[in-house]
Amino acid sequence: MIYPVIRLNIPLNEREMNNFPSVLEAISDLNIDQIEGLLILARKFKERPSDSTIFTNHRPIVANSFLENSTRTKTSFAIATTKLGCRYIDFNAETSSLKKGETLHETLRTLSCQGIDLCIIRSAESFILSKFKKSPPMKLINGGDGTNQHPTQALLDLFTLLEVEPNLKGKKIAIIGDCIHSRVGNSLCELLPMFGCKVILMGPKEFLPSFPPNQHVTLSTDLDKEMGSIDFLYTLRIQNERHTNSGSMLIDNYSKDFGITLKRMNKHGLNIPIFHPGPVNIGIEIDQEIINSPYYMGYEQVKNSIFMRMAIITTMLQNNDKSVGSFNENRLQSKL
């Protein structure tokens, strides 16, 4: 199914959205109808800001628990929460009982008992939310886990891509950089082919997986060879913190072979959109001239992050899942 021009008059599939997962860990947790529903709702929030305050009577409590540093993701979730009319709590893991050895499971159960309805979690540990899917203590959103996935970033990237090109069938996007460590890249490799988009993972061979993650993805170590056939560029941050000394040596030569500059764009006669999830290592992945140019879509991604995350929060809070937090009721009933 190829997503058409986004139109507000398309009715949301209520059955699909009512069955929206209560733990959003990866793109694979969603089907195409649910993704399209999020796109429609995000567009509504963007075009009709006066209709954004969804929760006026009962105001759910949404918490951010970021066990890794973040600016864009954390702030956009906070803004999205307050725009919807929810109450927002910044749960500081550094000063919580997690530092005393309490498990995340016990922490979340405690927060659920205190009335938290939804929590966004970022962690250096991959698959940290998998264990909560069968019996979620509350509704949970993956804000980025290790090198696994970052589904909300990929969804807002798709939203931004569709604003540039409403039909992605047959289009080709090059995801360039530290692909082997990129949770954003992993999510995009699952998401974009659902809309007919072909993906090339590109970078030094040490930055690429040994095999493509699926049949819609190819690998390349030659940027200039591929440039002429690419419709979109998506550059990734080189994650210095995840590299050994040998990786650091690759980074020294990275900008020459894979950095996106106006000179390289002009050489290939390209005037295509350039995306980056941020933060940018200026002068490595892309140069300052690109950031100042009309090709750079990074700030549009930041703007759209609010609307897509508003859509995700709204849909998750309204998904009618009665099993969330059921451990409290079951425990009480067993004592009666």
CATH number, domain 14-150+302-321, options 3.40.50.1100, 3.10.20.740, 3.40.50.2300, 3.40.50.1370: 3.40.50.1370
Decide whether 14-150+302-321 matches 151-297 in CATH topology: yes
* pLDDT-derived band at 96, boundaries 50, 70, 90: low
pLDDT of residue 241: 61
- What lies within 8 Å, CB to CB, of 177 at 6+ separation is 202, 203, 207, 235, 236, 237, 238, 258, 285
pLDDT of residue 99: 64
Q: Residue ranges per domain, the chain?
A: 14-150+302-321, 151-297
* pLDDT-derived band at 239, boundaries 50, 70, 90: confident
Rounded distance between C-alpha atoms, residue 270 and residue 77, angstroms: 34
CATH number, domain 151-297, options 3.40.50.1370, 2.60.40.10, 3.30.420.10, 1.10.2020.10: 3.40.50.1370
pLDDT in tens, 260-314: 999 999 999 999 999 999 999 999 999 999 999 999 999 999 999 999 999 999 9
SS3 sequence of 227-287: HHHCCEEEECCCCHHHCCHHHHHHHHCHHHHHCECHHHHHHCCCCCCEECCCCCCECCCEC
* pLDDT-derived band at 5, boundaries 50, 70, 90: very low
pLDDT in tens, 147-159: 999 999 999 999 9
> Considering the entire predicted model, what is its pTM?
0.92
pLDDT of residue 1: 37
Q: Which of 40-44, 49-53, 74-78, 86-90 has the lowest mean pLDDT?
A: 49-53
